[in-house]
Amino acid sequence: MSNVLWVTHFGHEWHLKVEGGNVVSKHSTEQEGIDAARTLIHNSPHGSIRQIKIQLADRSIREEWTYGKDTYPPAG
């Protein structure tokens, strides 16, 4: 399973999906999608899902959050 959850604007809905996977849930508002993503991330096993990204209809990323240990700066 990927470690990224996407909250994406699609038509008149906001979809919550796992990166590279299927839609997990659909929501009427962006905030409902974000709330569902936060609940899922906090209930996931330690070390699995670590990041939430908010993607607008134009495919730009408006915001993102990383949970747990961030790998920045990268090793090397």
Is there a domain that residue 47 lies in? yes
The domain tally of the chain equals: 1
Q: What is the pLDDT of residues 6-59, one digit of tens each?
A: 999 999 999 999 998 899 999 999 999 999 999 988 887 766 678 999 999 899
Does residue 75 contact residue 69 with C-beta atoms inside 8 Å?
no
Is there a domain that residue 14 lies in? yes
Is there a domain that residue 76 lies in? no
Beta bridge partners of 69: none
Is there a domain that residue 18 lies in? yes
Is there a domain that residue 73 lies in? no
Is there a domain that residue 71 lies in? no
Nearest 5°: CA angle at 73, between 6 and 46? 50
d(CA 72, CA 69): 9
Is there a domain that residue 31 lies in? yes
Is there a domain that residue 52 lies in? yes
pTM equals 0.80
